[in-house]
Amino acid sequence: MLEATEVTPTVRRSTPPTWLVVALACAGQFLVVLDVSVVNVALPSMRTDLGLSPQGLQWVVNAYAIAFAGFMLLGGRAGDLYGRKRMFLVGLALFTLASLGGGLAQEGGQLLVARAVQGLGAAVLAPSTLTILTSAVPEGPARARAIATWTAVGAGGGAAGGLVGGALVDGLSWRWVLLINVPVGAVVLAGAMRWLAESRNGGGRRLDLPGAVLVTAGLATLAYGISQTEAEGWTAAATLVPLVAGLALIALFLVVESRTAAPLMPLGLFRVRSVSSANAAMFIGGSAMFCMWYFMTLYAQNVLGYSPLEAGLALVPSSLAVLLGSKAAPRFMPLLGARTVAALGAVVAAAGFGWQSLMTSQGAYLTEIMFPGILMMLGAGLMATPLAALATSGATPGEAGLVSGLINTSRTMGGSLGLAVMSTIAAARTGGSVTPAALTEGYALAFRVGTVVLLAGLVLMLAWLPRGVSAASGK
């Protein structure tokens, strides 16, 4: 009660419209998710301009993803302890400055450092976006709609990466896929400083530094091992050593958390069914969905001969579908329950993945990109919104930042692992051949495996997610 009293004057001095708080939180989430994928179409230009090696080029993507996933839990807990607004501002400022540094980089090493700092800033920023949103909107249908908007904006950021990146590279240069974040970040930063209210639920506890170091090192090392699989294979020492080391660090983290008085991640949280089941489902769903954009872009460019901008335009209907699914989910949740809506999303997405697995090397746009893409992303939107609502509804106010971090970590790590596995499967099927027919076989197999993964996720949701949870109740 004392903490609630402390933050009340801030709210009374400048009470912003709820829509403005939601808009600021969603803008931060959009930037974070956009930068996961926006650099992909710019990689060839980056390599030519900065003289990056193939391994260095890979780390333009991996440096961001690993730092983002590895520091996510620390960012969520820091928001709880030190203030959600403060961490939002710190994360966004770090992200914006790193974007400026990356856009002005004159050497490959400078670009990689900037991308890693971007990922760190994103890890601090991302958990605060959802927590600020849920703190500003009362629990019930209004919060479900706000979460749906946050989910749609995040999904739209990932979907828009290829389109935005292609347009910037074709119209300006590769540097603008990073520099574009600077003016946008500055505007959001100014708005957040003016309108967001501070809140925290730390209870006076200190940050669990040993736990933070262990989980960050474990996730980063594990993510590095995952990133090595495509180049080195699953049995190479370069892959196995970091994978085993990462798992060992995470195991040690769990031991430390079970014994410390103020843990970074209270293990008892996973005894809450809605939290553990929703995060598991998010991990599985993310492992398939993240691969969709990657393989669809490769199929459009490497097999059908689309330019980067054309490939981005080809996926616009899919981008709209994920927004539609995310916004439609809250309308069905009070009637069917969150569990049923999430399961329905998995069914729709699996149907799209199965359809896409029938692709050919002379594929027609409507039947082999547009319609299956719409089904895949419509299902993604329907699935993600109720899962996010379930996970956050199961947390106490003091753990809200942690649960937000867990949701993002589950999705990001699931996507990283899924992409590594699917890429290995696709490469094994092509056997090193780069002909359109061979590439198509590899991509098609990846989508078939994705179909199986989503069906497994469907079984998990039906068996584990709590029944009778609606958008209105959140329970």
Model confidence over 178-232: pLDDT tens digits? 998 999 899 999 888 887 777 766 555 667 778 877 877 887 788 778 767 766 7
Summarize pLDDT for 70-121 with one digit per residue, the tens: 777 778 778 877 888 888 899 999 999 999 999 999 988 899 999 989 989 9
Nearest-angstrom CA–CA distance, 122 and 72:
8
Predicted confidence at residue 150, as pLDDT, reads 78
Residue type, position 393, single letter: S
- Stretch 458-466: mean pLDDT: 93
The band of 4, judged by pLDDT with boundaries at 50, 70 and 90, is very low
Q: What residue has token string 């547009």?
A: 370
- Stretch 356-363: mean pLDDT: 93
Residue 107 zone, left/alpha/beta (φ > 0; ψ -120 to 50; rest): beta
Q: Average pLDDT of the chain?
A: 82
Nearest-angstrom CA–CA distance, 408 and 126:
8
pLDDT of residue 252 exceeding 90, the answer is: yes
Summarize pLDDT for 424-455 with one digit per residue, the tens: 788 778 877 879 999 899 999 999 999 999 99
The band of 1, judged by pLDDT with boundaries at 50, 70 and 90, is very low
Tokens of 67: 């730092």
Q: At what angle do helices 316-336 and 338-356 cross, to 10 degrees?
A: 150
**Contact status, residue 225 vs residue 246, Cβ threshold 8 Å:** yes
**Contact status, residue 189 vs residue 90, Cβ threshold 8 Å:** no
Q: Is the pLDDT higher at 236 or at 412?
A: 236
Nearest-angstrom CA–CA distance, 387 and 408:
12
Nearest-angstrom CA–CA distance, 469 and 256:
34
Q: At what angle do helices 273-298 and 338-356 cross, to 10 degrees?
A: 20
Nearest-angstrom CA–CA distance, 366 and 371:
6
- Stretch 300-314: mean pLDDT: 82
**Contact status, residue 397 vs residue 381, Cβ threshold 8 Å:** no
Q: What is the reported pTM?
A: 0.77
